[in-house]
Structure 1
Amino acid sequence: MKPYYWESQHGNFGDDLNLWLWDFLLPGFREVHPDVLLVGVGTVLTKTLLPEEGRKLVLGSGFGYGVLPDMRNQSLWDIRCVRGPLTAGKVGVAEHLGIVDPAVLVADMPEFANQPKRYSCAFVPHWESAVAGLWPVVCATAGMHYIDPRGEAKDVIREIAQSELIVAESMHGAILADAFRVPWVAVSTSANINSFKWQDWAATLGVEHRPRRIPISTRAEAIIKGARFWGVDYDGATFAGTGEAAVAVAQAAPRRGLRHAAKQMLAAPSTLALWQASRAEPQLSTDARLSERKDRLYAVLEDVRRDYF
């Protein structure tokens, strides 16, 4: 088998973890059934991504973008489970097959066990935000650790596990935080956020997707997202409506000198909102609910071993 995942040109840890997770969950899977594509972690059940030809084994994938491929031919599609009940409904399989995102099993890998806590609070943005945003500066001003989702997947995951609280715009930032029993707060910088996939996963663990809105940090980020950057009037080099936010940020964040003063002022609304999010009531699924979902997923994997190995 060959693992299929969406590969961002910038890198995205939530997709890139497919490169090694399945070797842990299904050792030797690469040596059997070379004609089968293992479709695993990610919002990849869309016609534009998956090849039409060849057999697919679906293990925990989600829907959320575009149009579903024709998955009615059972000789080509072996759907063992999907991310959640919303995907199950779209695909047309039984709701109980919407188990959980397989990324939760990363926390069971020995190499991630017993991670020391190094960060009191960390922010994991969506990869699009990381590409064009000012989030490292925003986090520094707000007194938070910045985790770049484009980094090497295992490094990103360790930093999540080493945090005491995660503020997540990245869905897999929240998924991994929950898996490592790290409380998390969901945020969004765009009205175009894909709430379907968040709600799909959240329903499996009995949590809610109620993101706090965080202003976009740069004009370039707004261009990428097709959104308006309301904080800065570039033409007049003046600030629109950021005075109170700037004062509040200055009072709340640690003093860090003047070298980043201009950038800090530019992103003052983003900084204040992110700082406020870090002090909001976090969420965490119950131990019992997470354990029950993992047990069900492991049972599916055992069936796959029996049928394919």
Structure 2
Amino acid sequence: MATTTLPQPAAEPPVERLLEFPDNRLLIELCGEFDRNLAQVEHLLSVHILRRGNELALLGDAREEAAGVLEGLYARLETGKSIEPGDIDAIVRLGNSGEETGARDGDQMEMFGAGPLEIGTRKKTIEPRTRAQQDYVRNLYGNELAFGIGPAGTGKTYLAVAVAVNQMINGHVDKIILSRPAVEAGERLGFLPGDMKDKVDPYMQPLYDALNDFLPAKQLGKLIEEKTIEIAPLAFMRGRTLSNAYVVLDEAQNASTMQMKMFLTRLGQGSRMVITGDRSQVDLPRGQMSGLVEAERILGGIEGISFNYFTAKDVVRHPMVARIIEAYDKEAPQG
């Protein structure tokens, strides 16, 4: 008996989202060398991107989200700014976490467009990338005392030092004072070679690194030699009155309650003070209260003092850092 084979319906072509970009030069920058920017978006959002002349065709479930990312990056290029891998990672994470950051598709254009939140330094212009960072920078400019609290890699210290340099070169303060508690994190300070400066400098290195990003090496060396910029352990702040200065205390979770009170009361006329720290990385002896935690409890709600909080969503280092922090947060004891 003969069988009849019914014709199979033709497979529907995959749904694609087309984006057209009028400026071919900017489109080349958007795609990146060897299309590396497109490849990064493809990897982060599990989409496929095809380039057709001055158009990009997006395929995949997240094609609309990818379209918002690419449009936001293109708008950034239109303002004369460049695109770094961290910018792509940040805009994708903002689009994926609208409730936490307040960022929606419409806000991505604002985040990466020409906004007023740019921090000019001698070597580069710094932009806060996430909504939390933007709020933080506003408070750095708007309050005499600001706290930045959250995990490593969220830009707390980097942005504070950038604002300090900006305020100094614009004549708003006469000097910059950067400090950290010299607390051992598993190693012994006394066994390090050299004099006290040699022993302490490794603890201060992240502050030197930030300054080197914002000031030419010769100028930085001269400013440090003249003590226009001071980098010193927290213990060296006792007995001083810090006037007309931009003062940053980094790693404040390792300050004791007495040290924190001592430091906060150094604030003099014409000065600004920023306290940064990560409550999950306290290296104080067991049972000793962190001065940062105590300051949160005591100073919350006081006029002129701001508290800004960061999460793994605000990490601007390698994307892996955000995933590591989120994994550790899941393992942390609740309560």
> Common fold, TM-score beyond 0.5?
no
TM-score, structure 1 normalization: 0.25
TM-score, structure 2 normalization: 0.24
> Greater CA radius of gyration, 1 or 2?
2
Name the structure with the higher helix share: 2
